[in-house]
Amino acid sequence: MALNAFIFPGQGSQYVGMGKDLYENFKIVKETFEEASDSADINIKKLCFEGPESELNLTEYTQPAVLTVSVAALRALQGENKWTPTLLAGHSVGEYTALIASEAISLFAAAAIVRKRGQFMQETVDPGEGAMAAIIGLPKEEVERICFQAEEGEVVSPANYNTQEQTVISGHSPAVTRALELAVEQGAKRTVMLPLSAPFHCRLMKPAERRLAEILAGVEIAELKTPIITNVDAQINQERLKVKGLLIKQLTQPVLWENSMKLMIKEGVEEVIEVGPGKVLSGLMKKVDRQIKISNVEDTSSLKRTL
C-alpha cells in the first residue's frame, strides 16, 4: 500500500460558501461547526456560507473559519474511510489542523487559539502599514537578495518558500513595493500583491509572538499520534514538548513549504490529500513533484473522488 499524507491549507484558501456542501450532508460536520463556533465565539457557519467576503478575509475570522472547514473535511473523510496517514503538514494556520488530526489538541482548544492568533497578528501592524506579495519566476536566493536590497531601514523578507519559483514576501508596505519593482527588473515572470490584512511570518509579528506565547502557556498538548512536518524547520516532529515553541516561532519565521514537501517525498509518501478549502497546496505540490498522486477533500464530490 502506498504511503500517504494529509496536508491542510492556511489563509488565502478561504472563499464564501466553503464547507456548505459538507454541512448539508454530514452530521459530524454540523457538530464541528457548532463546536468551533462556541469556542471562537463567532457564527462560523454564517461567516463561511454567507460572508460577506470582506469579513471572511479579516485575519481574526479567516483563521478559525479555515481551521473549521478543514477539520470538518477531515472528519467527513475519516468517517467514510478510517485510514491513518503516514505524515501530516499544514501551511501556517493549517499546522493547527495538523495538530488536531494528530490528536495533540482538540478543535475546541484550537479554535479559540487561532481566533486570538488572528487578532494578535491583525493588531500588531496598523491597516495599510504592512503588505504581502508573491514573486513568481525567480529563485529564492534571488528573492532573498532583493529583499535585503529593498529594506532601506524597513522590514521586508521572505514569508513563504512555496516552490523554487514562488516566494511570498512580507513586511512594511513601501519596502514590499520596492522589492516587487526590483523583482520585475530582475526578470520575475509575475508579481502579485496578496489580499491579506497583515504582514505575516516576518519580524513585524514579534509583539504577536509574545502574546501568543502567553495564550499557549495555558494549553495542554497531548502526545502526537501522527508525526507532523513543521513550517519553521521543515523537519518531522512527534514530540509534544516541542509543539508550543514551534507554533510561537511560526509567527516571525518563514514557512518552509517546499522543503517540507520534499521531505515528505523523501520519506516515501506517494499520495497526498489536501484536506480543507481550495486546491492551493495541491497546485504547489504539482510544482514540487509532478509524480506525486494528489487529491483533495472540500465537498462531497471531491470526497467521493478521493475515496
Left, alpha or beta for 234 (phi > 0: left; psi -120 to 50: alpha)? left
DSSP secondary structure, 90-139, as one string:
ESTTHHHHHHHHTTSS-HHHHHHHHHHHHHHHHHHS-TTTEEEEEEESS-
Helix ranges (DSSP H) in 166-205: 173-185
User: Is 70 a residue of the active site?
Assistant: no
Q: Which of 37, 170, 197, 201 is catalytic?
A: 201
**CA–CA gap between residue 179 and residue 149 (Å, rounded):** 8
- The partner residues of 192 in beta bridges, in order of sequence, read 134
**CA–CA gap between residue 164 and residue 162 (Å, rounded):** 7
Q: Which of 92, 102, 170, 302 is catalytic?
A: 92
**CA–CA gap between residue 307 and residue 254 (Å, rounded):** 34
Buried b (16+ CB within 10 A) or exposed e, 63-72: bbbbbbbbbb
**CA–CA gap between residue 167 and residue 140 (Å, rounded):** 6
SS3 of 33, please? helix
**CA–CA gap between residue 53 and residue 63 (Å, rounded):** 14
User: Is 172 a residue of the active site?
Assistant: no
Active-site amino acid positions: 92, 201
